[in-house]
Chain A
Amino acid sequence: MDDDLKQNDAETCRRVLSGDRNAFREIVLRYQKQMLRTASSFLGDAEQAHDAVQEIFIKVFHSLHKFDTNRPFAPWLYSIAMNTLRTSYGRRRRIEFREGIEYDEPAGAAPEAESQNPIDEVIREEQRREVSAAIATLPPTLREVVVLYYIEQLSVSETSEALGITTENVKSRLFRARKILKGKLLPDATDGAVW
């Protein structure tokens, strides 16, 4: 993790803690893109992700006094994010169960891309949809490690810190997730040929 960023985060947090509430905006602007990506990948619903990200930052603000400014900020932020997203996901599942809602595919799947470069862009968009759909079907415990490790590119130890589980647990979940993802994303080819 970038040392300058770590330094900046710590400094900004200290300013917030010493009463400069507006400094918190810097934290939001610095991390909102990552948070939105994480939330969208985990929840599979863009609108719900938008709301969840707000909730994450509000929670971070109210918990900031517990953050040790000598430690890196990002894993701590992700730990709050994942707790919030689990709750948000559970809430949605309860609503869906009560109202009998079913999705044929993840709600966050993007519409067909308007492509300028026909083949590349179409394939890329198609693949994005399929990858998102495959991640969205993982059980939440596997999905969260996939989102943090593969999408957010956190290290195994940062992922472990963010989720409050051991590194061995992270590795074991990644192992299981890989098996499932491979099954979903790589069509069977018995003869070793693509055509």
Chain B
Amino acid sequence: MNTERFDTIITRWENGETPSPDDVRALEQACAADVRVARRYGKILPFIRRDAGLESADESPLRPNGAAEPRSQLVEIADLVMESIAESGHLPRRRHRISLPVAAAAVIAIALVGIGAIASTLFFSPTQQPIAHDSPSDTVTVRFSLVAPEAQSVSIVGDFNDWAPGLHVLAEPDSDGVWWIEIPLQRGDTYTYNFLIDDEVWIPDPRAERTIRDPFGTKKSVLNL
């Protein structure tokens, strides 16, 4: 079979021309009729189908994993996510709800993991003015630190990173076990945050200006800039 026509269709597609459904159908029919044509064009065909505005079937080479995912694994994901959410104790809240009653300053989580942590925001803290990295712009670079010599990893999670673990990982500690990170934040905003130790234990910053409890009783550190 001469495939010149199909090569032309593909070259045009490669150069940004939208393939016509008729061209795609002709190519599909040729693939269905001859295994050698299928071998040659089958891998590129689903891309062309998509650009011609035709949907991909589940058996398309473009859908390698999701369609075949066992149901048990999918259920497991939902269970694990819900479990993690329940453990974190947080509920997504609208910003105006930040003015909750200030809670007592017990740091139970620290005792639980036995790290004897102390933490602070260095370049900016409740009783200090920013002393470094303070530019004339609206951004203030804040240095967060935490003494946790026995921790394997420490990250900071808060409003500024959507409470996403792993986005702001503190630099590995010095000989005193001090982990730290600098984060540019918006001047004039109020942030809530916590530290996350070893991807498991959430603790508030013990030296934060204040902490609040969310509706589920979880403590969060508050930083006013």
Contact = CB atoms under 8 A, between A and B. Distances in A.
B14 interface: yes
Contacts of A40: 64-66
A46 B39 CA distance: 26
B92 A61 contact: yes
A128 B88 CA distance: 39
A192 B1 CA distance: 9
Given A150-B47, A153-B55, A84 B63 contact: no
A8 B62 CA distance: 28
B163 A132 contact: no
Interface stretch (B73-81, B101-109, B137-145): B73-81
A101 interface: no
Contacts of B86: 21
A10 interface: no
Given A19-B215, A182-B44, A189-B40, A194 B1 contact: yes
B167 interface: yes
Contacts of B92: 16-17, 61-65
Interface string B18-53: 000000000000000011111111111011001000
Nearest to A185: B43
A62 B163 contact: yes
26 contacts: A21-B91, A29-B74, A33-B74, A37-B64, A40-B65, A46-B65, A55-B166, A59-B164, A62-B92, A63-B92, A63-B162, A65-B94, A84-B164, A87-B166, A110-B64, A110-B65, A123-B39, A124-B42, A131-B62, A149-B50, A151-B63, A178-B47, A185-B43, A186-B40, A192-B7, A194-B40
Interface of B: 1-4, 7, 10, 13-14, 16, 34-44, 46-47, 50, 55-56, 59, 61-67, 69, 73-74, 77-78, 80-82, 84-86, 88, 90-95, 162-167, 215
Given A28-B82, A41-B65, A149-B50, 18 more contacts: A16-B92, A22-B82, A25-B78, A29-B74, A29-B78, A40-B65, A58-B85, A62-B164, A64-B92, A87-B166, A87-B167, A119-B35, A127-B42, A150-B47, A182-B13, A185-B43, A186-B40, A194-B37
